[in-house]
Amino acid sequence: MKLADIRGKRIALAASGGLDSCTVTRWLADQGVEVVSITADIGQPDEDDIEDIGRRMLACGAVDSVILDLKSDLAEEAITMLLANAVYEGGYWNTTGLARHVTAQGILEEMQVRDIDVLAHGATGRGNDQVRFQLVANMLSPAVKVYAPWRDDAFLEHFGGRREMIAYCQARNLPITATQEKPYSTDANLLGLTHEAGKLEYLDVAADFIEPGMGVFPKDAPDRPETFSVTLEAGRPVLVNGEPVDAVSAIATANDVAGRHGVGIGIHTVENRFVGIKSRGVYESPGLALLGACYQYLLQQVLDRRSRRFYDSLSSVLAEQIYQGYYFDLSSQMIRGALSPVRKLAEGSLTVSVYKGSVTYQSSGAVAHSLYSSELSSMEAIGDYDHRDSEGFLNVLSVGAKALNASRQVNEGLTKN
């Protein structure tokens, strides 16, 4: 869509209250567009008062402002992500990726109530968020049209990047916090923070200049470890440190404990964006890193080697699905369905120690579906396993191993000098 398509219309803007939202709202209002600002309350730790976003957007020219409480929705989806260990390219817990799906879904539902059929967003043409907003809208509400200013010539004629946007807002006294001097940008929600752009775009610059928003770097963590425990029932945390929790409070408590010990803080990743370019991100996801480790320790006891192999394949695929904007499609539904048996088996209590960025196993209990047996695995003369029973097993395996040599498939075997 172009500006000419929405002049004189009432549209919805997915508004974070940041630089992009303020700029886009003021610019569209000046062009004769009625902007309804819709903001998702997803537990942004950098917002002392979530209602202030609505006030900022009205000050920027929005005709109305709505705050949607989606914290529980995001936390519930995060439990599924934890169960799947859906970490993208080894380090990113998809905090923003998952939040965009939840945010877009909530906004589309509000748009339906208000009979608005155009969704605008401030995501740039170089990033992943534009894909997530577009695909979620197309999948869930195909009649909704998406307007992206960063893909509109009329907008690009005025704004080349952050510098022009900051100057525009400052000239109009709009309530932004971004400055020309700030060396990076941050996106925040209950699950974590993502830092990018500015000085972070240069790989010869270490990331330790950022100011963690959910904890401290490991080097600055206390010199004494802290114990953390979680009890899972049907794949869900029900107790954290002995206290009853729901999804939101489980993640919030884990954020507090992990953050002050530097767990999941300052994770540096150079990743592959969906649009085909590399980007550098520095991530904070303390609660997910801590709870994720607990889930992993429990699943080590529960999954046999065949289910483990299949589980690992599901983890990587779901992580990519979330990252690329496909969390609601058929393949993601299939993956979540395949995880249902794992959810039923994920029951038990885990105790770990957190210390200077690390999570160390301490003990587990009441793991009803554990396959581990100290008797079977013991090197002592206990249990029902007879070492001599392995003789026939190894004879069978030897047939295939010798056939590989005979068929010259094993690098010619060993030769004497």
d(CA 94, CA 322): 7
- In the chain, the amino acid numbered 373 is S
Return the residue matching tokens 């004497």.
416
Q: H helices of 60-161, where? A: 71-84, 95-114, 129-140, 153-156
Identify the CA nearest to 201 among candidates 144, 280, 145.
280
185 is catalytic: yes
Residue 167 host element (H or E): helix 162-171
Cα dihedral across residues 176, 179, 180, 183: positive or negative:
negative
> Which residues in 191-224 are b (16+ Cβ under 10 Å) and which e?
bbbbbbbeebeeeeeebeebebbbbbbbeebeee
100 is catalytic: yes
Q: If you compute the radius of gyration of the chain from its CA atoms, what whole number of angstroms results?
A: 25
229 is catalytic: no
The one catalytic residue among 20, 41, 73, 187 = 20
The one catalytic residue among 21, 41, 56, 129 = 129
Burial (CB < 10 A; 0-12, 13-18, 19+), residue 285, is buried
Q: Any idea what the Cα angle at residue 58 is, between residues 177 and 130, rounded to 5°?
A: 65
CB atoms within 10 A of CB 403: 11
The one catalytic residue among 185, 279, 307, 370 = 185
117 is catalytic: no
The one catalytic residue among 26, 56, 100, 162 = 100
Active site residues: 20, 100, 129, 185
